[in-house]
Structure 1
Amino acid sequence: MPYLSIMKKDRNKPIVQITNHEIEQYALKMTTDESEQVKELVASSDSKLDYIDMLSGNLVGQLLKMLVKISNAKRVLEIGTFTGYSALMMAEALPEDGEIITIEMNLLYQELAEDHFAKFDTENKIHLMKGNAQELITDLNGEFDLVFLDADKVSYSFYFKQSIEKLRKGGLMIVDNVLWGGAVLHPQDEKSAALDAFNKAVAEDERVEQILLPFLDGLTVIRKK
């Protein structure tokens, strides 16, 4: 089965393709493959859930791994765990003393992520926090080298405001789904309006520099000055 067909099961609604499908398939073929552990996690998630299109996928996953490595990140915050795909990808790139704190509110996703981390996170780098990220993030202590944001879209501006204060100078924040299938161009619903407002707020924030990459569903890489 083609990889992207696993990532995006049909929910009886159109999927807007931001970039050319054939080019994405070519890019996947030319990108470092997932580890066997990550592939097992994908298969496990696919067998237990109707839809796994919230998995980041290998293009985003390998970019996260690369950014973790080249930034020498040791402490990572992830907001939105789902079943643990992106956390495991980043954990594979961390040094021995590195850690990821990942937050998930959905009870089923918590259970699946816990099972996956127990099986695949053999070095115990990943720490799952269960609950509402809006509440939990305010209680986190210390600085982070990298933040990955892939949670409820309406709350992106709140998460940015909270996590940018906890991001070290020179640290990176990666934000997924910022184009929302192109809906941010002419927002007609709460999520697309919230994402458009988030994108504009980041673009106007003098504390950061950023690049919005128009591939998959849009990905913004932010660096704190």
Structure 2
Amino acid sequence: MNQELWTTVDEYLIDALIPNDPALDAAQASSMAAGLPAIAVTANQGKLLNLLARVLNAKSVLEIGTLGGYSTIWLARALPPDGRLVTCEFEPAHAEVARANIAEAGLGDLVDLRVGPAIETLPQLAGPFDLSFIDADKQSNPEYFQWALRLSRPGSLIIVDNVVRGGAVANGTSDDPSIQGVRRLHEIIATEPRVDATAVQTVGGKGYDGFTIALVTS
């Protein structure tokens, strides 16, 4: 098994199950043209977020880490006309690209994009959110998760991306702040009685990684 094969399979699955989408393609192209890092979710991961939001009949979504708005578009499309999505982005330049992409997709009225450190934005928000998607700086995952939980309700989902880190998450002695942030996240979840959670390893066009999903139970 290798990266070339993982990418080929990803491309096959996307071609087979996810039709070309001008708005999403444009969001990817404009993000690339603006020099944003190529770390957005893949199309099949975006579709998974969309499906989960639809299964929940979500009316409110919290996203921590907007980047160019690609995952934001997938999530916002799952919402009803009176829904809302609040997305937090640290970098003003990224937020500018995302805002244009979201508007181009016709979702500007559904999306409230907040610019600045999420740890400062989150206390200003009013929940509950039906689904929270955390995909920002990994060392702050514990704090982001705790805020997402505060802003949730029983039945909400909290999804945290990039928790496997190419397998490095298993290294308890790593001095990488991202690894330690993910490990602290799982330590918090393991002792948190209000959630029930699992994690799934993934391979694909973005390499070897995975996500954690927590159901808020009380």
TM normalised by structure 1 equals 0.86
Aligned mates of 1:172, 1:50 — CA distance in 2: 28
Instruction: Choose the corresponding residue for 1:223, options 208, 211, 215.
Output: 215
Does the CA contact (< 8 Å) of 1:33 and 1:58 recur in 2? Answer: no
TM-fit CA distance, 1:42: 0.7
Aligned mates of 1:219, 1:120 — CA distance in 2: 26
Does the CA contact (< 8 Å) of 2:26 and 2:101 recur in 1? Answer: no
When residues 206 and 50 of structure 1 are mapped into structure 2, their CA distance, relative to the original with a 3 A threshold, is closer
Partner in structure 1 of residue 102 of structure 2: 117
**3-state SS in 2 of match to 1:219:** strand
Partner in structure 2 of residue 7 of structure 1: none
**3-state SS in 1 of match to 2:76:** helix
Aligned mates of 1:89, 1:34 — CA distance in 2: 13
Number of aligned pairs? 208
When residues 132 and 92 of structure 1 are mapped into structure 2, their CA distance, relative to the original with a 3 A threshold, is same
Partner in structure 2 of residue 201 of structure 1: 188
Alignment of 1:79 onto 2:85: no
Aligned mates of 1:75, 1:125 — CA distance in 2: 10
Aligned mates of 1:20, 1:153 — CA distance in 2: 24
**3-state SS in 2 of match to 1:215:** strand
Does the CA contact (< 8 Å) of 1:34 and 1:58 recur in 2? Answer: no
**Structure 1 unpaired stretches of 5+:** 1-15
Aligned mates of 2:19, 2:90 — CA distance in 1: 30
Partner in structure 1 of residue 122 of structure 2: 137
Alignment of 1:51 onto 2:37: yes
Aligned mates of 1:147, 1:50 — CA distance in 2: 23
Does the CA contact (< 8 Å) of 2:163 and 2:210 recur in 1? Answer: yes
Please list the CA deviations of residues 18-63 of structure 1 after superposition, one character each: whole Å capped at 9, or x if unmatched.
x9444434433333235221111111111221632x2111121000
Partner in structure 2 of residue 153 of structure 1: 138
TM-fit CA distance, 1:203: 2.8
Q: Map residues 1-225 of structure 1 onto 2, 5 A cutoff.
A: 20-33=6-19, 35-49=21-35, 51-52=37-38, 54-122=39-107, 124-186=109-171, 187-216=174-203, 217-225=209-217
Identity %: 33
Does the CA contact (< 8 Å) of 1:38 and 1:85 recur in 2? Answer: yes
Does the CA contact (< 8 Å) of 1:150 and 1:175 recur in 2? Answer: yes
Does the CA contact (< 8 Å) of 2:102 and 2:108 recur in 1? Answer: no
When residues 142 and 189 of structure 1 are mapped into structure 2, their CA distance, relative to the original with a 3 A threshold, is closer
TM normalised by structure 2 equals 0.88
Does the CA contact (< 8 Å) of 1:80 and 1:103 recur in 2? Answer: yes
**Structure 2 unpaired stretches of 5+:** 204-208
Does the CA contact (< 8 Å) of 1:103 and 1:129 recur in 2? Answer: yes
